[in-house]
Amino acid sequence: MLFDRNEVGVDVGGTFTDLAAWDGTRLRSGKTMSTVDESEGVLSGAADVLDGRAMGRLLHGTTVATNALLEGKGARTALVTTAGFVDVVEIGRQDRPALYDPMADRPSPLVPRELRFGVTGRIGAGGVEIQPLEDLQRLAVEVRQCRPEAVAVSLLYAFAAPAHERAVAASLAAVLDGVPISISSEVAAEFREFERTSTTVLNAYLEPGTGRYLRNLWERVAGSGLADEVLVMRSSGGLMDVMTAAALPAAVLLSGPAGGVVASAELGQALGYGRLVSFDMGGTSTDVCRIEGGRPEVSYERAIEGYPCRMPAVAVHTVGAGGGSLAWIDPGGALRVGPQSAGAHPGPACYGRGGMEPTVTDANLVVGRLSSETLLAGSLALDREASRQALTGLAKRLGLDESATALGAIEVVEAHMERAVRKVSVEEGADPRTAMLVAFGGAGGMHATALARRLEMAGAVIPPFAGVFSAVGLLLSPPRSDSAQGVLLTEGDPIDDVVARVADQAREHLLGDTGRSKVDVHSLVDVRYRGQSHETPVIYSPGDGWGALADQFHRVHRERNGFARPGDPIEVVAARAEATGEPAMSWSDLPEIAPAGESRRGVRTVLTGEGPQEALVWWRPGLGAGDEVVGPAVIEEPEATTFLGTGERAVVHPSGALEVAW
């Protein structure tokens, strides 16, 4: 399909902002430094990659909500909950953050004790008996006197009967003059009051800041005529309307990493790989996610900075190990890397922007994987001498030279990343030896093969547009709406009615969000053995029936937990639905690569653990389908670099992907 306007994906990271524009026949990419106000980099980068062309939609992956939570810069939030349960957000569960560390504690609740309010109300035969209006008005005045910037309302049984919660919200809205109010029956209509309340509090805490950013972005985009629609990446791997995202920031907490996971799944299907691990190494962090059968692993509850969030999200595990991660020495004299990062400002020492401490990027420059003759992201010259000087202090303390210290920093950061991949594979019962590693991000290709070989993986794939692959993932992501409803059903109960109702809700939300008529809906149910304290999501289609559901559950339970109990009764505790529309493009839309320019760029010395080696330098845009590159080699491209060690070889797929084996 030909476009008269471009679809533009913009993914903002801690160091770089990545861009990809699709006009229906050609994909263009770009990379720029991230700005303090994300919208500045979004708008200027989009204008650069468009180069005067018209834009239809702006598709945005953002870290605004994530950063606000990590930095503790959310709103002053009040909580209204059922009387007697105001301390649930502080009591939490009986599990501990660290089993063998008695001093470890959970993070402080986002709502302090003085901002928690209890409301009376009880369940009667006819449902919730609404509290008298005058009592609700009195409660609203008490809340207003505390001058909150946001309010969360989470009553005990609101997931089943939301009327009381809505009445409370209406009374609050009448006196709070525009203060945003989040209610649990709309944020996460599921049982378990602690997790539901935590999710609602998270949404309220983040809504003022995230909403302000997204509304400002939309006003600037619309006011400049740059685009007629802005969609924001959901944590679950789909796009939502910018104004919907502004009101539901808990749904975009993992907006940033999700695009790369979607793109990895699409590439894996195109190449015929059923099991993958996506590996996104950027400037600040590394994100990994397991993908089975073309479907990213999705979690329906996870803790972010220790706060439970019951919103669907691609099951990404993040570690503070990126190109900008700082190398340092701990009190015991051991070399460490991360989680502290030089970020975009001032950045690694080699950027020449005032950074004085050594980073992983500086280490890669000193050992020769990066070159001072190459412009990083197409415009940034690297200063090798500055990197060497930054490593000098560490080297003296370790009793090594700068080169050995650089190799040590690379070894340490690769060990961090190995543990991250084990977290999403071995620790979840999946064998990494049967999986391919899809490595991207500006720094991913420099560490991909070493990481895959440490884990004895089947091989590695470096996708085309590797340096901006998460932005490409935004173009491959469909508009999406997620719905869920807590239930308690046992065999013989009318499960199809519940599943159909939740599916219709997801479909209606998506149609209202995007106005597009073509919608696909996939349904799931959370199933457990009666008496179990945890549940397992299982795909379900109306008409499957309890017998088919039980068989599917036993199979999935065995895969994930190592056992099944087919003779035990099961129960369903939640129904879920994922409604999706059409993405801006599909992987098959991309044309076969056409080599441009000379592929050979010479030879340079690269330091490795086996000593210095002469590595051929290749220019990736000059490589054609079927070309083979044998290591030691460095493969450079405008936004990323790949390093192949001795005995490793990369074959160029017609899509431009590098399939690496050894």
Q: What is the average pLDDT across 142-168? A: 93
Q: Which helix (H) or strand (E) holds 520?
A: strand 520-529
Tell me: pLDDT of 291 over 70: yes
Task: Identify the bridge partners of residue 642 per DSSP, sorted by sequence position.
Answer: 635
Co-location of 575 and 609 in the same domain: no
Task: Let me know if residue 225 belongs to a domain.
Answer: no
* Among the listed residues 168, 193, 163, the one whose alpha carbon sits nearest the alpha carbon of residue 182: 168
Co-location of 536 and 631 in the same domain: no
Lowest mean pLDDT among 26-40, 116-130, 466-480: 116-130
Q: Which residue has the tokens 């002053």?
A: 76
Task: Let me know if residue 172 belongs to a domain.
Answer: yes
Q: How many structural domains is the chain composed of?
A: 3
- Last residue of a domain, which of 209, 232, 252? 209
Structural domain harbouring 529: 480-582
**pLDDT (0 to 100) of residue 133:** 66
Task: Let me know if residue 284 belongs to a domain.
Answer: no
Six-digit token pair at 375? 């412009």
Distance CA 620, CA 658 (A): 10
Q: Which residue has the higher pLDDT, 33 or 626?
A: 626
* Among the listed residues 317, 314, 312, 313, the one whose alpha carbon sits nearest the alpha carbon of residue 190: 312
Q: Which residue has the higher pLDDT, 314 or 121?
A: 314
Co-location of 169 and 201 in the same domain: yes
- Last residue of a domain, which of 209, 232, 256? 209
Distance CA 635, CA 628 (A): 11
Six-digit token pair at 186? 């709309």
Q: What is the average pLDDT across 107-126? A: 81
Helix axes 38-50, 193-224, angle to 10 degrees: 50
Co-location of 632 and 518 in the same domain: no
Co-location of 91 and 177 in the same domain: yes
For 37-82, what is each residue's pLDDT tens digit? 888 888 888 888 887 788 889 999 998 898 889 888 999 999 999 9
Q: Cβ contacts of residue 399 below 8 Å, gap of 6+?
A: none
Task: Let me know if residue 179 belongs to a domain.
Answer: yes
Q: How confident is the model at residue 304 (pLDDT cuts 50, 70, 90)?
A: confident
Distance CA 534, CA 557 (A): 11
Tell me: pLDDT of 468 over 50: yes
Task: Let me know if residue 433 belongs to a domain.
Answer: no
Distance CA 516, CA 582 (A): 9
**pLDDT (0 to 100) of residue 147:** 96
Tell me: pLDDT of 477 over 50: yes
Task: Let me know if residue 92 belongs to a domain.
Answer: yes
The Cα-based distances of 17 to 34, 85, 211, 232, 471 in angstroms read 5, 43, 20, 15, 9
Tell me: pLDDT of 127 over 60: no
Task: Let me know if residue 379 belongs to a domain.
Answer: no
Helix axes 469-476, 255-271, angle to 10 degrees: 80
Six-digit token pair at 502? 């939740």
Q: How confident is the model at residue 223 (pLDDT cuts 50, 70, 90)?
A: confident
Mean of all residue pLDDT scores within the chain: 91
Q: Which residue has the tokens 């195109």?
A: 270
DSSP reduced 3-state for 262: helix
CA atoms within 13 A on the CB side of 183: 19
Co-location of 532 and 653 in the same domain: no
Q: How confident is the model at residue 94 (pLDDT cuts 50, 70, 90)?
A: confident
The Cα-based distances of 435 to 275, 431, 444, 564 in angstroms read 5, 7, 17, 25
Q: How confident is the model at residue 330 (pLDDT cuts 50, 70, 90)?
A: very high
DSSP string, 54-79: -EEEEEEE--HHHHHHHTT----EEE
Spatial contact of 455 and 432, defined as CB atoms under 8 Å apart: yes
Co-location of 77 and 205 in the same domain: yes
CATH number at residue 86: 3.40.50
CATH number at residue 542: 3.30.1490
Co-location of 559 and 630 in the same domain: no
Q: Which residue has the higher pLDDT, 248 or 96?
A: 248
Tell me: pLDDT of 123 over 90: no
* Among the listed residues 402, 412, 400, the one whose alpha carbon sits nearest the alpha carbon of residue 330: 412
- Last residue of a domain, which of 209, 224, 248? 209
Judged by phi (left if over 0) then psi (alpha if -120 to 50, else beta), residue 177 lies in left
Lowest mean pLDDT among 16-30, 38-52, 560-574: 38-52
What are the phi and psi torsion angles at 210 (to 5°)?
-65, -40
Task: Let me know if residue 517 belongs to a domain.
Answer: yes
Q: How confident is the model at residue 1 (pLDDT cuts 50, 70, 90)?
A: very low
Co-location of 651 and 569 in the same domain: no
Co-location of 555 and 491 in the same domain: yes
**pLDDT (0 to 100) of residue 517:** 67
Within 10 angstroms of residue 613's Cβ, the number of other Cβ atoms is 16
